[in-house]
A and B are shown apart, each in its own frame.
Chain A
Amino acid sequence: MEAHSLSWRRFLWAPLLVTILLLVPPQAVFFWMSLHRQTGTDGLTLDNYARVLTDGFYLGSLWTTVWLSLVATLLALLAGFPTAYILARTRSAWISALIVLLLVSSFVTIVIKVLGLSLVLGRQGVVNELLLALALIDQPLILLNNNIGVVIGLVQYTLPFLVMLLFSVIQTIPGSLEEAAELHGATRLSMFRRVVLPLAMPGLIAGSLIVFNLNMGAFTSAVLLGGGRVLTLPVVIQRKILLDVDYPIAATLATLLVGVVFLINVASALLVRRRAAGA
């Protein structure tokens, strides 16, 4: 047995070498770049970081990225949880068809979905026409090229993944627990709060973090549905590279983005651990 587990270890070498080769040198070159003012001229400096962290424009961009990501994550949770719940709790032949549709939605590339959103959300798009026809609004809403457009795009991007993830989480909660709670007189609401939510909580937190991370790095929907007016960090990074050809600042911003995402994840992990320990 021991001999066999040793022979399995040989398999580690190829993937480990390839990933180290693809991870370390590129990241090192990149990080090195963020420590220089211009490509390979002067010595090491923290100037770029000082510039980025004192410039209102970059800090504003960071703030926009964080709060749009938060809003989009909350909206995805609010819409995704009940959907996942109903999919996991209904025994019907329709469910597998509904899941295939969910898979289609999550695996059609976001560019095509953004193309569709720009057809639907325009001034004369079907959404505005519907709302006008129902007399819910008396002027077309502006749903593109602003924060609203970007948030809609972000939710479109992450929601199918979140629903599938929560679906598998809720499936692991035995339905009999809910029935037991109801038999003992719990109302639907308190059953939900006392039984379903606590049991789903680890999955909910993991799912929210995944969605939040995806939102922070979201590029396609931020560029296309923000119409150049919503400058999240991924958008600014692309502009620094393609328009300004300012690689050192782009590298600094990218490092900042990765760092902030990492810190937020570590902080929430610590928070969860402390709460779990306290409970």
Chain B
Amino acid sequence: MKPLGQTFRQAPFWFAALVVYAFLLGPILAVILASFEAGQAYHFAFPPKNFSFEWYGKIPHRYLHALGVSVLVAGVSAVIATLLGAAAALALVRGRLPATELLQSYFRLPLQIPFVVTGVVFLQFYNHLAIATGIDVLGTVAGLIVAHVFVTIPYSIGTVGSVLIRANPRLEEAARTLGASEAAVFRRVLLPTLRPGLFAGFFYAFIVSFGDVPISIFIASAKMTTLPVEIFSTLQFDFDPAILALSTIVVAFSALLILGAQKFAGFDLVLPSAKQ
């Protein structure tokens, strides 16, 4: 044990880590600080020169509407994606299916296609659907949810799958031998085992859907849009400092979500692995 020498030799690594953390957290911190700066647009100082909550009171209604749409879309698509992904994971891990590997790569396809391509593809698909059937889902919550479900299913397949691989099927056998009904085995044995995987899958799906720009931008309309798309257009066209206040609220919300996910699912499921 030579803690001091160890620390000394690791100094270059610690320096790299410091730079990485400053780089990753700096911009987020800048947004938070700038949101408390009164009057000044697009600038920030530490500590804020004119500290105020001015912009928090000036968040336009359409941003709040977009926030509502984002939460709704992310919540619903995450629930659907988690259930479908969990079903797929159960079949893939327990079903002893022929061509399991092929099916696994098939289910990962939505993540191999760049999201911007998926966005354009769904835009085109919805256009043709409207012409063919008269059902127009462009610019609707349903249209957003369908596209988001498509790209978020792989996450819960991954998280639920990794929980299942670790789980012991004999526990279920034991419960059956002891006379438990299939429903009871599912509820009492399998579901508690799956729970962290379900939470982690939901968390991933929610966060991916909630932050998405490249898919939503093609499906959203001026009236029905998501928060990231609103922030995107604000940045591209006309800057509004109220967006800083709203972004700060989103950062706080994301941080709470992460703490919650970590509490319910644990680190090892929330962290991505090379296998996924």
Q: Which residues of A contact B (CB under 8 A)?
A: 4-6, 8-12, 14-16, 18-19, 22-23, 25-27, 29-30, 33, 79-80, 82-83, 85-87, 89-90, 96, 98-105, 107-120, 124, 126, 155-156, 159-161, 163-165, 167-169, 188, 202-203, 206-207, 213, 216-217, 219-220, 223-224, 234, 237-238, 241, 247, 250-251, 254, 257-258, 261-262, 265
The reply to whether B123 and A241 contact each other, CB–CB distance below 8 Å, is: yes
Closest to B10 in A: A86
* Residue of A120, A167, A250, A261 with most partner-chain B CB within 10 A: A120
The reply to whether A12 and B97 contact each other, CB–CB distance below 8 Å, is: yes
The reply to whether B272 and A261 contact each other, CB–CB distance below 8 Å, is: no
Q: Which parts of B9-27 form the interface with A (CB within 8 Å)?
A: 9-10, 12-14, 16-17, 19-21, 23-27
Expressed in whole angstroms, the Cα–Cα distance for A12 and B92 within the complex equals 8
The reply to whether B117 and A254 contact each other, CB–CB distance below 8 Å, is: yes
**In whole Å, how far is A61's beta carbon from the nearest beta carbon of chain B?**
13
The reply to whether A25 and B254 contact each other, CB–CB distance below 8 Å, is: no
Contacts of B38 in A (CB 8 A): none
B187 interface contact, C-beta 8 A: no
Contacts of A99 in B (CB 8 A): 267, 271
Q: How large is the interface on B (under 10, 10 to 19, 20 to 34, 35 or more residues)?
A: 35 or more
The reply to whether A220 and B213 contact each other, CB–CB distance below 8 Å, is: yes
The reply to whether A164 and B272 contact each other, CB–CB distance below 8 Å, is: yes
Interface of B is mostly: helix
The reply to whether A79 and B19 contact each other, CB–CB distance below 8 Å, is: yes
How many A-B residue pairs lie within 8 Å, measured between CB atoms? 259
Expressed in whole angstroms, the Cα–Cα distance for A86 and B19 within the complex equals 13
B153 interface contact, C-beta 8 A: yes
**In whole Å, how far is A30's beta carbon from the nearest beta carbon of chain B?**
5
The reply to whether A19 and B153 contact each other, CB–CB distance below 8 Å, is: yes
B171 interface contact, C-beta 8 A: no
Contacts of A89 in B (CB 8 A): 10
Expressed in whole angstroms, the Cα–Cα distance for A15 and B109 within the complex equals 13
The reply to whether A109 and B95 contact each other, CB–CB distance below 8 Å, is: no
**In whole Å, how far is A165's beta carbon from the nearest beta carbon of chain B?**
5
The reply to whether A103 and B258 contact each other, CB–CB distance below 8 Å, is: yes
A79-B20, A126-B44, A237-B120 given; 8 more Cβ-contact pairs under 8 Å:
A12-B97, A16-B103, A104-B28, A108-B251, A159-B23, A219-B214, A251-B124, A261-B114
The reply to whether A107 and B24 contact each other, CB–CB distance below 8 Å, is: no
* Residue of B24, B210, B271 with most partner-chain A CB within 10 A: B24
**In whole Å, how far is B109's beta carbon from the nearest beta carbon of chain A?**
7
The reply to whether A262 and B112 contact each other, CB–CB distance below 8 Å, is: yes
**In whole Å, how far is B131's beta carbon from the nearest beta carbon of chain A?**
9
The reply to whether A29 and B125 contact each other, CB–CB distance below 8 Å, is: yes
**In whole Å, how far is A99's beta carbon from the nearest beta carbon of chain B?**
7
Contacts of A27 in B (CB 8 A): 121
The reply to whether B87 and A169 contact each other, CB–CB distance below 8 Å, is: no
**In whole Å, how far is B15's beta carbon from the nearest beta carbon of chain A?**
8
With contact pairs A25-B125, A169-B274, A206-B274 given, residues A8 and B95 touching in the complex (Cβ less than 8 Å): yes
The reply to whether B42 and A168 contact each other, CB–CB distance below 8 Å, is: no
Q: Which parts of B104-138 form the interface with A (CB within 8 Å)?
A: 106-107, 109-110, 112-117, 120-125, 128
B224 interface contact, C-beta 8 A: no
Expressed in whole angstroms, the Cα–Cα distance for A18 and B88 within the complex equals 11
* Residue of A18, A98, A100 with most partner-chain B CB within 10 A: A18
The reply to whether B116 and A237 contact each other, CB–CB distance below 8 Å, is: yes
Contacts of B121 in A (CB 8 A): 26-27, 29-30, 254
B193 interface contact, C-beta 8 A: no
One of B47-55, B56-64, B242-250 contacting the partner: B242-250
With contact pairs A87-B17, A115-B247, A116-B28 given, residues A217 and B117 touching in the complex (Cβ less than 8 Å): yes
With contact pairs A217-B117, A247-B124 given, residues A85 and B13 touching in the complex (Cβ less than 8 Å): yes
Expressed in whole angstroms, the Cα–Cα distance for A202 and B123 within the complex equals 37
Expressed in whole angstroms, the Cα–Cα distance for A33 and B273 within the complex equals 37
Contacts of A241 in B (CB 8 A): 120, 123, 218
The reply to whether B90 and A29 contact each other, CB–CB distance below 8 Å, is: no
Contacts of B25 in A (CB 8 A): 101, 104-105
The reply to whether B258 and A107 contact each other, CB–CB distance below 8 Å, is: yes
**In whole Å, how far is B235's beta carbon from the nearest beta carbon of chain A?**
5
The reply to whether A82 and B247 contact each other, CB–CB distance below 8 Å, is: no
B84 interface contact, C-beta 8 A: yes
